[in-house]
Amino acid sequence: MLDEERERPDPDVLLRRIQAEDERQTRARLKVWLGFAPGVGKTFAMLANARELQAAGGDVVVGWADTHGRYDTAALLLGLEFLPRRSIPYRDRTLEEFDLDAALARRPGVLILDELAHSNAPGSRHAKRWQDVRELLGAGIEVHTTLNVQHIESLNDVVAQITGVVVRETVPDAIVDRADEVVLVDLAPEELLLRLREGKVYLGEQKERAARGFFRRGNLLALRELALRRAAERVDVDVQAWRREHEVATTWAIGEKILVCVGPAPASARLLRAGRRMAAGLRAPWVVAWVERPGTTSLSSEDRERLEAHLRLAETLGASVVRLVGERPSEAILRWAREHNATRIVLGKPTHSRWRDLLRGSLLDEIVRGSGEIDVHAIAGDEAPEAPPRRPASGASLAWREIAAAAVLVGLATGASALAERLLALPDVAMMYLLAVMLVAIRCGRAASIVAAALSVAAYDFFFVEPVYTFAVSDSRHLLTFGMLFAVGVVMSTLTLRIRRQERGAVEREQRTATLLALSRELGRALDEREAARAIARTLAEVFRCGAAVLRPGPGNALAVAAGAGELPLDAPELAVARWSFAHGEPAGAGTDTLPGSRIRCLPLRSGPRVLGVAALAAGPEKNWSHEDRDLLDAFTRQGALALERALLVEERERAALRARTEELRSTLLSTVSHDLRTPLAAITGAASALREQAAEMDAFERGELLDTVVEEAARLERLLANLLEMTRLESAGIEPKREWVPLEEIIGAVLVRLEAQLEGRSVRTELPEDLPLVAADPLLLEHLVLNLIENAVKYTPPGSPIEIRAEAREGRLHLEVADRGPGLPAGDEERVFEKFYRGRHPHQPGAGLGLAIARAIAQLHGGSLVGENRPGGGALLRLQLPLDANPPQ
Amino acid sequence: MTSLGPLVLLVEDEASMRRFLRATLVPHGFRVLEAETAAAAELAAASHNPELILLDLGLPDRDGIDLTRRLRGFTKTPILVISARGREQDKVEAPDAGADDYVTKPFGVGELLARMHVALRHAARAAGEPEAAVLEFGELRIDLARREVAIGGRGVRLTPIEWKLLALLARHAGRVVTHRQILREVWGPTYAQQTHTVRVHMAGLRKKIEADPARPRWLVTEPSVGYRLRDRD
């Protein structure tokens, strides 16, 4: 009854739910025991749960558990399976670590891995344990872990404010949000303090004092609240999900989207965390933006690093990052917000004086005014989402030269005005100075422009304004002129500066576009996989000025270098990085979260879900990657992967076409040849069985006939097979003639001896000049060629008719003619006789119609040609040409 | 052991080929000993001391060329190799490994028997009969002692190299002599690669001996292997 009143479910929602359900079923579970401080009993609770699971028949393995010497916790470990720990030599000590590879190899049903926020020892695959966890989950292994609330990234600064202790080991919110279940382990602070006093909480000796400060009742209460709130938030999300699944009308604000504006100032980090909390509270997606003013010369290296750190932090906090470009940051921000339907803009409260606002305009003010329906949140932090423009790094000498030039120009204006004083009115003189100031402003920097303006005012006043040759001014109206002169100088120089900046920005962007364009052009030219790989490696090496290589999976999926440019270390550890990157389809090595100590940086070349290879750059941890470089690298690898895929597809298509051709040939061959194979076989079988069964009834003549049949048909079969095999061999790609220097005479002699029986009763005339040069040919193939030519003449001419063989060397080529006096080649089909399986007018002659096709194939293999024609007076003439080497050996 | 004809060791793994060869050889007075594998062949060759070994190169357990080399390690019994068409390399390698001659499958009975007789004759000669000073092949007469060649009673003048070439082929009359063997015997071991030298001198020799060098009567080419002096009589 109620069902009828329910709203029809939105198909999109349904789809999302199905997808989520699918994902939940296929993906591995993550369960987190969350506490507000060490000592509340997270590990204990987790292990107790593990024991229950094991008792219920679960495959539970402990990857790492810290009992901190607590007896009751250690007791829980008894009877559980342990993974052996990995020893890592570090300086003069040996560190023990969780063995990720062992866990992946063991593939337990549930893996217990204490301390999610743990930092791995240097030399481990990942810097942080939560990255290990991510890989484990990716491999389909359920993970149970523990976490204290102060380690959650977005709560990091709140915790620091409360406790005064800055926690360095943080876990991105994304991984906590990924958890399928969060178990809150709670304990009253009083009880925790009691346990602490009883020595039940292990703190580590050197940390004792800091920890004492941490474990104050006030701190604990605040932390507990944080943990409770976080868990409640989590419950809320679960409730929402449940509601969605059960079609309860939703109450959350649809379409909220938060834009957080950051800059290089240190306080931006706080802004980010605030943004994350707001996004979590609203359950809204959030985007972090920073505005670059075109042409602003690059930030100082500290600023740039800070900015990059902020953008990375934003990514770990689960935001997407955009880089906006615009002369006016407020406009760029508002434009983006409108285009992407942001509902809230978060930015820092201004920290500078009001004067600056008056001079340069206030970002906050502009955004608030232009925001319209978008809410604007000003949060204690920094203001500037833009990089503070820095002066061009022009040396002081340049500035001085410009100022000198300004002075010269003003002097010239003064001189010109003095010369033409009779002709000029005073305002005209002012115009002369204005011209000078404008010229300076256009050509030189701002300092020079201001100097020029000041000098102009002074000179104008001194030389032309009454009383002349003093700086005194009798008429106050001139003051306005002075002011105008000065103002024009400043405004002009500002405008010029802006134009120049934009120009520089445009140039930079153009360079970037040009590099990408060059890459895509080069990739477009690459027709096969090798060329594409080479183009990628070369361009990477050129653009990033370091060695680069492209690795592709070879047989057995082992990675091997497909193309390289420049120096690139590629020993076992580097190959391991590349393999990881290839297997997981994610970047690895220097500058990434995985194996950051490597000497190379690896990027997967992936197209969709398929990883085609890995691009490796010889850029160790010391190399700084700016956001732009990362973007560029990203674009490069994306394009490279596409090109690689295209090349692979082309190759695949060619292979398919080849297969189709082979298939076609095979069917022709089968239909034509099966007849030719069966006929002699039938004759042999028939004759042989007749001999076996009826020999007694036959006379000697009949027996002889049958025996002749057997021998002749067997010989015919043998020739046919030999031709077929030869044709197949010649057609298989890559056959190279084994060239030797041979006299043609010897070849013809060998053939005539071999055909002695068939040539019985024929006149064979050979005309070979004495001085015929040696020919560089494969003797076997050449013999086969000549044999086929002569055999062809024998086969298709009446017995007893003559055969003529003539050879001569002419124009660097050897000409051999085999002529007969038979019926000649079918008119109009002179070319077709060289086609495979063509048998002209003699479909009943033995043979498969391969002889001349083979002969021509051999001729072409040697760089020669074979053609046929009809002779005047009747008969066929086959003409072979072979190239002669200019220098035969003596 | 009823007949006392020459004992032939037949090394062949194909049953049908063995049957055919046995049926051919026994009526011609040969005693036939059969082996299916290289190992059995080696054992039989060592224990029965055959007078001729007929060896098919395509054996299941070991490369036939390798077996030839091993057999040559302990016996001088002539080895006649049976090679398959398309395995041209075998024809070059087998004589170099110590085989006396080869026939190519498929072959006629006449050809096989002729080759076997040539091999047996050469073996007998090597075993003790003094080398004949004068060899005659129809109209071609070669006097090894006097270094004279005559065709139909008419003397032919040869260069020293041509003489060495002809004498070598004549001593191996009826058997194939590979390019490498010729180079080693005539020019010495340092010329081992230049087969075209042999070809050029061979062409010169043919012009002096053969009526029509393009249709040789005696000096027959075995393409890409070597030469054979045809011994029809």
β-strand A559-565 against A93-97: which pairing, if any? Answer: unpaired
Structure-token pair, residue A210: 């800091």
Q: Using CB atoms, which residue from A715, A745, A783 is nearest to B214? A: A745
CA A323, A325, A326, A332 torsion-angle sign: negative
**B34 vs chain A: nearest CA distance in angstroms?**
26
Q: Which residues of A touch B86 (CB under 8 A)?
A: 722, 725
Across the strands, what pairs with B103?
B82
Verify whether the Cβ–Cβ distance B216 to A780 is below 8 Å: no
Q: Is the peptide bond before B106 cis (omega within 30 degrees of 0)?
A: yes
Residue A4 has pLDDT above 50, yes or no: no
Q: Which residues of A touch B205 (CB under 8 A)?
A: none
Is A769 an 8 Å CB contact of chain B? no
Is A136 an 8 Å CB contact of chain B? no
pLDDT of residue A826: 80
Verify whether the Cβ–Cβ distance B222 to A780 is below 8 Å: no
Mean pLDDT of chain A: 79
Q: Using CB atoms, which residue from B106, B108, B202 is nearest to A746? A: B202
B121 SS3 class: helix
Q: Which residues of B touch A740 (CB under 8 A)?
A: 195-196, 224
Q: Using CB atoms, which residue from B85, B212, B221 is nearest to A750? A: B221
Nearest CA in chain B to A764: B215
pLDDT in tens, A322-357: 877 777 788 888 888 887 778 888 888 776 666 666
Q: Which residue has the higher pLDDT, A648 or A202?
A: A648
pLDDT in tens, A205-247: 545 555 666 777 778 888 888 888 787 777 766 766 666 666 5
What are the residues whose beta carbons fall under 8 Å from the beta carbon of A38, sequence distance 6 or more?
A148, A201, A202, A203
Verify whether the Cβ–Cβ distance B196 to A750 is below 8 Å: no
Residue A827 has pLDDT above 90, yes or no: no
Q: Which residues of A touch B206 (CB under 8 A)?
A: 745, 749
The answer to whether A204 and A250 are in contact (CB under 8 A) is no
Least confident window among A44-48, A115-119, A479-483: A479-483
Residue A746 has pLDDT above 80, yes or no: yes
pLDDT in tens, B37-55: 989 999 999 898 899 999 9
Q: Which residues of A touch B200 (CB under 8 A)?
A: 743, 774
Nearest CA in chain B to A889: B196
pLDDT of residue A152: 87
Nearest CA in chain A to B200: A743
pLDDT of residue B80: 93
Verify whether the Cβ–Cβ distance B203 to A779 is below 8 Å: no
Mean pLDDT of chain B: 85
Residue B232 has pLDDT above 70, yes or no: no
**CA count, 13 A, side-chain hemisphere, A790:** 29
pLDDT of residue B129: 63
**B193 vs chain A: nearest CA distance in angstroms?**
11
Structure-token pair, residue B125: 């000669």
Q: Which residues of A touch B85 (CB under 8 A)?
A: 718, 722
Find which of A727, A745, A765 to mutate to test the B interface (most B CBs within 10 Å of its CB).
A745
Task: Please report the DSSP string for A360-414 in residue order.
Answer: H--HHHHHHHH-TTSEEEEESS----BPPP------HHHHHHHHHHHHHHHHHHH
Q: Which residues of B touch A764 (CB under 8 A)?
A: 215
Residue B8 has pLDDT above 90, yes or no: yes
Task: Please report the DSSP string for A468-518 in residue order.
Answer: TTSS--S-THHHHHHHHHHHHHHHHHHHHHHHHHHHHHHHHHHHHHHHHHH
Verify whether the Cβ–Cβ distance A779 to B220 is below 8 Å: no
**A839 vs chain B: nearest CA distance in angstroms?**
25
User: A389: exposed, middle or buried (C-beta count within 10 Å: 0-12, 13-18, 19+)?
Assistant: middle
Q: Which residues of A touch B106 (CB under 8 A)?
A: 714-715, 718
CA B80, B82, B86, B90 torsion-angle sign: negative
pLDDT of residue A385: 45
Is A718 an 8 Å CB contact of chain B? yes
Verify whether the Cβ–Cβ distance A742 to B220 is below 8 Å: no
Q: Using CB atoms, which residue from A749, A774, A889 is nearest to B215? A: A749
pLDDT of residue A5: 43
Phi, psi for residue A520 in degrees, rounded to 5: -65, -35
Mean pLDDT within B194-222: 87
Verify whether the Cβ–Cβ distance B212 to A740 is below 8 Å: no
Nearest CA in chain B to A714: B106
Q: Which residues of B touch A753 (CB under 8 A)?
A: 215-216, 220-221
pLDDT in tens, B64-89: 889 999 998 888 899 999 887 666 77
Residue A3 has pLDDT above 50, yes or no: no
Verify whether the Cβ–Cβ distance B214 to A750 is below 8 Å: no
Q: What ipTM score was computed for the predicted complex, to two decimals?
A: 0.80
Q: Measuring CA to CA, which residue among A399, A479, A474 is closest to residue A440? A: A399
pLDDT in tens, A31-52: 999 988 888 888 888 988 998 8
Is A722 an 8 Å CB contact of chain B? yes
Is A750 an 8 Å CB contact of chain B? yes
Nearest CA in chain B to A766: B214
Q: Using CB atoms, which residue from A711, A718, A749 is nearest to B216? A: A749
Is A717 an 8 Å CB contact of chain B? no
**B230 vs chain A: nearest CA distance in angstroms?**
11
Residue A298 has pLDDT above 90, yes or no: no
Is A745 an 8 Å CB contact of chain B? yes
Nearest CA in chain A to B216: A749
Mean pLDDT within A78-94: 82
Task: Give the count of beta carbons closer than 10 Å to the beta carbon of residue A161.
Answer: 10
Mean pLDDT within A507-524: 76
Is A82 an 8 Å CB contact of chain B? no
pLDDT of residue A359: 63
Nearest CA in chain B to A759: B215
Verify whether the Cβ–Cβ distance B214 to A752 is below 8 Å: yes
Q: Which residue has the higher pLDDT, A191 or A357?
A: A191
Q: Which residues of A touch B215 (CB under 8 A)?
A: 749, 752-753, 764, 766
Nearest CA in chain B to A750: B221
pLDDT in tens, B96-112: 888 988 888 878 888 88
Nearest CA in chain A to B220: A750
pLDDT of residue B86: 63
Residues of B with CB under 8 A from a CB of A: 85-86, 88, 106, 108, 194-196, 199-200, 202-203, 206, 212-216, 220-224
Least confident window among A241-255, A478-492, A594-608, A609-623: A241-255
Mean pLDDT within A47-65: 88
pLDDT of residue A390: 43
Task: Please report the DSSP string for B27-38 in residue order.
Answer: GGT-EEEEESSH
Residue B9 has pLDDT above 90, yes or no: yes
pLDDT in tens, A711-720: 888 888 887 8
Tell me the longest C-alpha to C-alpha distance in chain B: 54
Verify whether the Cβ–Cβ distance B196 to A742 is below 8 Å: yes
Find which of A707, A740, A753 to mutate to test the B interface (most B CBs within 10 Å of its CB).
A753
The answer to whether A267 and A346 are in contact (CB under 8 A) is no
Q: Which residues of B touch A749 (CB under 8 A)?
A: 206, 213-216, 220-221
pLDDT of residue A846: 58
Is A743 an 8 Å CB contact of chain B? yes
Task: Give the count of beta carbons closer than 10 Å to the beta carbon of residue B154.
Answer: 8
Residue A628 has pLDDT above 90, yes or no: no
Tell me the longest C-alpha to C-alpha distance in chain A: 155
Is A321 an 8 Å CB contact of chain B? no
pLDDT in tens, A383-441: 444 444 444 444 456 678 888 888 888 888 888 888 887 777 777 888 888 888 888 87
Percent of chain A with pLDDT over 70: 85
Q: Which residues of A touch B24 (CB under 8 A)?
A: none
